[in-house]
């Protein structure tokens, strides 16, 4: 890190801290919370190597869309590749992967209030409480080194500690005082004690753990699947196995239900649940598949198919399925579906919608 | 997201951007006389380009600043829009609202576009001082082969055996650590002609810019944008007899660049190393009542990219040969037939191994002047590519002289031409996604116009007005693959465009030792996607980075040994996405230079001061890539020259 970056970093910390202090002082309960208090937030990656990431806002009640919410409110681009977005109380934290930062905005007004910088290929975030969060970092984008989890102080917007995990960590989950980290290039999940921020244990699953869900009974589901390549970029047939969906009891992680996919040619990803947490959804190829948390087999047919399918979300209130699609260099599209898979309507967002956050 | 996809898309983004500067001086058929310097172009294509718009770029800049890149020349002396990722960074050019891969770049008859990406980075092309640069606007598949869908940039080094000896050295210093050193020399005794050129350019590019992506738009110092470039060129021409000549040309350019990150993206310390070696051997002789030329070439293009997490190595060896024969069938009928073969041997990390591809094409060009004022050309080319066949590409063009009196000449011109582009090696062999079964792109263009030439006592000038229509089918685009997880190229789009171009250049000798040369060029460009119309969301929107309006003007005043030059461009709004949601505001850019020549016997010294971006405009040609503010350069050159004596007939 050079001096300029360091200075900028300090500036952000200072600005962030000041804003936070101000907002604490002035945010009385009787003030209106803001125009974007409730709705669907769509993270659009944008075109890699350009700061064209954006967050789109959709209000299901009025069916209004604001495709470029961040820029509209803050009068500047969000950054390069918006990977994910997490709400912590009245803040929204947007992880901007190729800008190595997390933009912190007021969740109700979307006004910027701080930046966490100095990260290296940050991916996903989870919060323990209003003042402590975690973010996975790849460190490199070529799977050549172990990744890490950065411990974030959500009051000062600083990194307080880093914890080494496996290679290319993706999703992470806070559950019952423990932090679970999916090491997606390995076959492991790192378990971290959130009181000490020390690695407690490393659980072995199958190749490519990439996403988590917690069901209504408190069991954790982990979705595993990854295509591995040889050095000549042909598929490594030996290492690339069919994916797995695994349920385990966090109190006894060796008690598991393992559902194996039938083929290694496509790999599953993007595990989410409905609001009642009794139904799971994931993507495989161009399809969205769903199963009950009581199921003992994987579904054979998808609930819907869409060419160019990219992001997946399920609205917790009505169980509507949201699917993001798009080319790499033009506006993407979001299509809403009934739980049965019947398309309802669609709207245009920005480049490469990869995820949905409902609030 | 799959990292590999992202890297590739990034590369595509970097390279896949297009743009189009044009040039200078007007061509009507036989030859072109550049208005500024005595510069008779011996274009091998020009005779067959009736009805099309070919312009010679003012190459005075190349002479005054050896080592300057084609990117800089076109920026300062052409109406094309140059898509530059920063000062000295990747810069591409597109004609008539097409993409940069739709510009063929030929060097002494051979296409030198990078076979992997199918396009040329004009920042990697510092032509030698004797290079003639001409711009073909509009499709010309029959003349220039694959890739000439929007137009072509033609670089030629004409052979001259005029006896002379000359040596020149130059040193230039400028803002942000800019340094340029040049040493060029040439010699001819009438039988042997030699020329050598070495140039080195380096800069730190640590200029200040306003970071509009950060909170509060702070001023920052540009990081990771330094580069240096060495270029060495050598030519040897030898007359075997009165009717035979042997030529060897070599051009080696080595460029080391840090890759300037866009504002708002993390600095990943990206570095790109390019090495481009080009060797051509040529034999020309008068046999069988015509002129026959045989050429063989070997190109080696290395492009190595690395950043904090990525290493991408690629080397392509290209072997090419051409045979052509030209003869005068009748006093008013000229024919050229020829054929060429290309063999690409690519060693590219992304292809997972060594790959080869062969391409062939044959062509016939006909020029017929049935009446004194009427010139026709009919050209046709058929290419064969391993695995598939591009379409037959014909061109039909005509010039008709409407009026000629002592001073004025008015010519009507019209042209219809087909073009094609073979998919790039990346399109065909990249893993995963590359599709060897892709169809070639093809296009049609139609144009018509008027040329007015004036030659009075002290004033002379040419004005050309052109209107055109253009269509490109099966335009290849990378998109998320049908099975997910990576991207793949598809013959997706149909793009239609039309526009108008106005070009006017004048010379005025207004007193004994005062002269003025000036030019202005304007391009109005509409380019829109017609297909696919899924969700009808991209139709009737201007393609990204195609300004509707672009004007370039330049003027030079000379008085005795002094000169003062200024150029200015105005570039209209450019959308930065095909949805037309985001755009760059119009901007104007002005450069100026002042020079003086001191002469003493056979010696000459030249002192030149330049200011670039005189008005200190904040602008970008590619979104979020900072460009330098006002900056200065000072150059001193020393030259020794004398006419030589001929070993042949004096």
Which position has the token pair 């056979």?
Answer: B602
- The pLDDT assigned to A31 comes to 62
Q: Please tell me if residue A18 touches chain B, with a CB cutoff of 8 Å.
A: no
CA distance B576 to chain A (A): 10
Is any Cβ of chain A less than 8 angstroms from the Cβ of B4?
yes
Task: Number of A to B CB contacts under 8 A, please give it.
Answer: 148
Of A313-327, B10-24, B384-398, B614-628, the one with minimum mean pLDDT is B10-24
Task: Report yes or no: B578 at the A interface, CB cutoff 8 Å.
Answer: yes
Report the DSSP pairing between strands B151-156 and B103-107.
Answer: parallel
Whether residue A58 has pLDDT greater than 70? yes
| B423 at A interface, C-beta within 8 A | no
Integer-rounded Cα radius of gyration of chain A: 20
* Pair type for strands A122-129 and A209-214: unpaired
CB atoms within 10 A of CB B613: 16
Residue B534: the pLDDT is 58
Please tell me the predicted confidence (pLDDT) of residue B107.
96
Tell me, yes or no, if A170 comes closer than 8 A to chain B by beta carbon.
Answer: no
Q: Which residues of chain A neighbour B581 with C-beta distances below 8 Å?
A: 67-68, 331, 350
- For the cut 60, the answer to whether the pLDDT of residue B11 exceeds it is no
Query: Residue B261 carries which DSSP code?
Result: P
Within 484-503 of B, beta carbons closer than 8 Å to A belong to 484-485, 487
pLDDT attached to residue B8: 38
This prediction has a pTM of 0.86
Backbone torsions φ then ψ of A325, nearest 5 degrees: -140, 165
The predicted pLDDT at position B484 comes to 61
Q: pLDDT digit string (tens) for A137-147?
A: 999 888 889 99
In this prediction, the answer to ipTM > 0.95 reads no
Of A68, A74, A233, the CB nearest to B350: A233
A6 at B interface, C-beta within 8 A: no
- Nearest residue on chain A to B431, alpha-carbon basis: A233
H/E element, B429: helix B425-429
pLDDT digits (tens, 9 = 90+) for B455-504: 998 999 999 999 999 999 999 988 777 666 677 888 888 899 999 999 99
A14 min Cα distance to partner chain B (Å): 13
pLDDT at B16 exceeding the cut of 60: no
Which residues of chain A neighbour B351 with C-beta distances below 8 Å?
233
Q: In this structure, how many other beta carbons lie within 10 angstroms of the beta carbon of residue B240?
A: 12
Dist. CA B475–CA B440, nearest whole Å:
8
- In tens, the pLDDT along A13-35 reads 333 333 333 334 444 455 668 89
Our CA-based measurement puts residue A217 at a distance from the nearest CA of chain B, in whole angstroms, of 31
Domain residue ranges of chain B, discontinuous segments joined by +? 2-641
As a whole number of angstroms, the distance between CA A265 and CA A262 comes to 9
- Averaged pLDDT for residues B335-361: 93
Q: Which helix (H) or strand (E) holds A135?
A: strand A132-137
Q: What CA–CA distance (Å, rounded) separates A187 from A167?
A: 9
Nearest to B578 among A76, A115, A330 (CB): A330
pLDDT digit string, tens, across residues B44-82:
788 899 999 999 888 788 888 888 999 988 988 888 999
Cβ distance of B310 and A141 shorter than 8 Å:
yes
Read off the DSSP letter of residue A21: H
Closest CA to A191 of A131, A134, A265, A256: A134
Element at B63 (helix H, strand E): helix B60-64
Average pLDDT over residues B196-209: 96
Cα–Cα distance between B292 and B583 in angstroms, integer? 51
Question: What is the distance between the alpha carbons of residues B147 and B383, in angstroms, rounded to a whole number?
Answer: 12
> CB distance from A328 to chain B under 8 Å?
yes
**Pair B57, B27: CB distance under 8 Å:** no
Give every strand in the sheet of A198-204, ordered side by side: A169-175, A178-183, A188-193, A198-204
CB-CB neighbours of B370 under 10 Å: 11
pLDDT at B29 over 70: no
Q: Which tokens belong to B576?
A: 């930065």
What residues have CB less than 8 Å from B617, skipping those under 6 apart?
B587, B588, B589, B590
* B10 interaction partners in chain A (CB closer than 8 Å): 48-49
Sheet holding A101-106: strands in order across? A82-88, A91-96, A101-106, A112-117
φ/ψ of residue B13, rounded to 5: -60, -45
Could you tell me the pLDDT band of residue A5, with boundaries at 50, 70 and 90?
very low
pLDDT surpassing 60 at residue B17: no
Nearest chain B alpha carbon to A270? B1
A132, two tokens: 């402590």
Cβ atoms of B347 and B316 within 8 Å: the answer is yes
Task: Report chain A residues whose CB lies below 8 A from the CB of B267.
Answer: 5
Instruction: Tell the CATH superfamily of the B2-641 domain.
Output: TonB-dependent receptor, beta-barrel domain (2.40.170.20)
Q: Do B264 and A79 touch (CB under 8 A)?
A: yes
CA distance, residue A196 to nearest chain B CA (Å): 31
CA distance readout (Å), B441 to A313, B18, B149, B492, B498: 38, 16, 9, 10, 18
Cβ B375 vs Cβ B369: under 8 Å: yes
Q: What is the mean pLDDT of residues B447-458?
A: 95
- Residue in chain A closest to B6 (alpha carbons) equals A48
Higher pLDDT, A107 or B11: A107
The residues, any chain, with a CB within 8 Å of residue B38's CB and separated by 6 or more, are none
Confidence of residue B536 (pLDDT cuts 50, 70, 90): low
Q: Report pLDDT for B310.
A: 82
Of A15, A141, A234, which has the smallest distance from its Cβ to B3's Cβ?
Answer: A141
Which residue in the set A11, A309, A331 is minimally distant from B537, CB to CB?
A331
B196: which residues sit within 8 A by CB, 6+ positions away? B184, B185, B186, B232, B233, B234, B235
Radius of gyration of chain B (CA): 24
CB of B533 within 8 Å of any CB in chain A?
no
Please report the pLDDT score of residue B217 as a whole number: 85
Query: What DSSP character marks residue B260?
Result: P
Residue B534 at interface with chain A, using a CB cutoff of 8 Å: no
Residues of B in Cβ contact (< 8 Å) with A100: 266
Yes or no: say if B1 and B470 are a contact pair by the CB < 8 Å rule: no
Q: Tell how far CA B391 is from the center of its chain.
A: 25
E strand spans, B175-310: 178-188, 192-203, 208-210, 219-221, 227-241, 244-258, 271-287, 290-306
Whole-angstrom Cα distance, residue A324 to residue A287? 12
- Say if residue B511's pLDDT is above 90: no
């Amino acid at each position: 890190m050079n001096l300029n970056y360091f200075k900028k970093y300090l500036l952000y910390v200072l600005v962030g801290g000041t804003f936070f202090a101000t907002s604490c002082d002035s945010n009385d309960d009787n003030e209106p919370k803001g125009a974007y208090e409730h709705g669907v937030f769509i993270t659009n990656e944008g075109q890699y190597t350009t700061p064209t990431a954006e967050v789109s806002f959709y209000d299901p009640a009025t069916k209004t869309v604001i495709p470029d919410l961040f820029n509209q409110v803050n009068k500047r681009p969000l950054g390069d590749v918006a990977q994910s977005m997490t709400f912590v109380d009245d803040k929204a934290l947007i992880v901007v992967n190729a800008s190595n930062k997390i933009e912190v905005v007021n969740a109700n007004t979307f006004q910027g209030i701080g930046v966490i910088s100095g990260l290296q290929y940050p991916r996903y975030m989870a919060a323990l409480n209003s003042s402590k969060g975690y973010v996975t970092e790849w460190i490199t984008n070529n799977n050549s080194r172990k990744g890490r989890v950065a411990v974030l102080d959500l009051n000062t917007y600083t990194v307080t500690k880093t914890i080494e995990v496996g290679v290319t960590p993706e999703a992470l989950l806070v559950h019952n005082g423990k932090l679970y980290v999916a090491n997606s290039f390995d076959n492991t999940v790192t378990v971290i004690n959130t009181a000490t921020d020390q690695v407690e244990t490393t659980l072995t699953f199958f190749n490519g753990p990439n996403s988590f869900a917690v069901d209504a009974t408190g069991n954790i589901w982990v979705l595993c699947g990854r295509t591995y390549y040889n050095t000549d970029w042909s598929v490594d047939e030996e290492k690339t196995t069919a994916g797995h969906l695994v349920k385990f009891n966090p109190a006894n992680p060796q008690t598991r239900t393992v559902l194996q996919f039938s083929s290694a040619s496509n790999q599953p990803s993007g595990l989410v649940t409905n609001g009642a947490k009794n139904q799971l959804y994931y993507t495989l190829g161009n399809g969205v598949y769903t199963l009950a948390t009581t199921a003992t087999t994987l579904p054979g047919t998808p609930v819907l198919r869409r060419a160019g399918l990219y992001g997946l979300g399920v609205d917790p209130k009505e169980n509507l399925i949201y699917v993001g699609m798009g080319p790499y260099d033009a506006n993407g599209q979001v299509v809403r579906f009934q739980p049965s898979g019947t398309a309802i309507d669609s709207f245009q967002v920005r480049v490469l919608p990869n995820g949905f956050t409902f609030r | 997201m799959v990292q590999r996809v992202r890297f590739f898309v990034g590369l595509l983004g970097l390279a896949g951007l297009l743009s189009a500067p044009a040039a200078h001086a007007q061509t009507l058929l036989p030859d072109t006389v550049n208005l500024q310097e005595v510069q008779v172009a011996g274009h091998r294509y020009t005779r067959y380009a009736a009805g099309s718009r070919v312009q010679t770029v003012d190459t005075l800049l190349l002479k005054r600043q050896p080592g300057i890149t084609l990117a800089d020349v076109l920026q300062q002396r052409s109406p094309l829009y140059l898509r530059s990722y920063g000062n000295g960074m990747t810069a591409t050019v597109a004609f008539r609202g097409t993409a940069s891969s739709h510009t063929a770049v030929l060097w002494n008859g051979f296409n030198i576009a990078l076979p992997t990406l199918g396009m040329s980075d004009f920042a990697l092309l510092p032509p030698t001082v004797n290079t003639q640069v001409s711009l073909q606007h509009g499709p010309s598949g029959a003349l220039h082969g694959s890739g000439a869908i929007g137009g072509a940039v033609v670089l030629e080094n004409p052979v001259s055996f005029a006896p002379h000896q000359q040596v020149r050295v130059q040193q230039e210093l400028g803002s942000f650590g800019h340094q340029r050193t040049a040493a060029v020399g040439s010699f001819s005794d009438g039988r042997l002609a030699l020329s050598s050129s070495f140039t080195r350019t380096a800069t730190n590019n640590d200029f200040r810019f306003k970071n509009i992506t950060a909170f509060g738009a702070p001023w920052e110092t540009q990081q990771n944008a330094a580069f240096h470039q060495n270029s060495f060129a050598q030519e040897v021409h030898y007359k075997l007899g009165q009717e035979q000549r042997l030529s060897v040309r070599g051009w080696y350019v080595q460029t080391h660049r840090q890759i300037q990150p866009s504002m708002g993206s993390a600095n990943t310390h990206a570095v790109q190393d390019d090495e481009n070696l080009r060797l051509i051997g040529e034999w020309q002789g008068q046999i069988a009542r015509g002129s026959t030329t045989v050429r063989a070439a070997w190109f080696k293009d290395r492009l190595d990219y690395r950043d904090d997490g990525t290493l991408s190595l690629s080397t392509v060896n290209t072997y090419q040969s051409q045979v052509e024969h030209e003869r005068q069938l009748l006093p008013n009928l000229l024919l050229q037939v020829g054929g060429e073969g290309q063999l690409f041997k690519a060693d590219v990390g992304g292809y997972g191994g060594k790959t080869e591809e062969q391409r062939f094409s044959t062509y016939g060009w006909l020029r017929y002047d049935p009446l004194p004022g009427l010139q026709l050309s009919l050209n046709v080319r058929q290419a064969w590519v391993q695995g598939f066949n591009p379409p037959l590409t014909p061109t039909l063009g005509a010039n008709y002289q409407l009026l000629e009196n002592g001073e004025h000449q008015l010519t009507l011109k019209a042209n219809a031409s087909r073009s094609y582009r073979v998919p790039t090696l990346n399109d065909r062999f990249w893993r995963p996604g590359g599709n060897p079964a892709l169809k070639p792109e093809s296009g049609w263009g139609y144009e018509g116009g008027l040329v007015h030439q004036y030659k009075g006592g002290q004033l002379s000038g040419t004005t050309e007005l052109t209107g055109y229509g253009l269509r490109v089918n099966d335009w290849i685009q990378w998109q998320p693959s049908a099975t997910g997880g990576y991207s793949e190229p598809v013959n997706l789009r149909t793009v239609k465009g039309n526009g108008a171009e106005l070009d006017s250049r004048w010379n005025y000798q207004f007193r004994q030792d005062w002269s003025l040369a000036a030019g202005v060029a304007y391009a109005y460009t509409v380019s829109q996607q017609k297909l696919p119309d899924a969700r009808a969301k991209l139709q009737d929107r201007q393609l990204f980075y195609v300004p509707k309006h672009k004007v370039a003007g330049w003027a030079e005043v000379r008085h005795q040994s002094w000169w003062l030059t200024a150029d200015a461009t105005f570039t209209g709004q450019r959308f930065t996405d095909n949805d037309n949601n985001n755009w760059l505001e119009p901007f104007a850019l002005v450069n100026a230079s002042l020079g003086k020549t001191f002469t003493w016997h056979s010696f000459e010294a030249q002192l030149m001061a330049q200011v670039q971006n005189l008005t200190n405009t904040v602008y970008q040609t590619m979104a979020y890539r900072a460009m330098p503010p006002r900056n200065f350069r000072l150059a001193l050159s020393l030259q020794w020259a004398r006419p030589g004596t001929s070993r042949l007939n004096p």
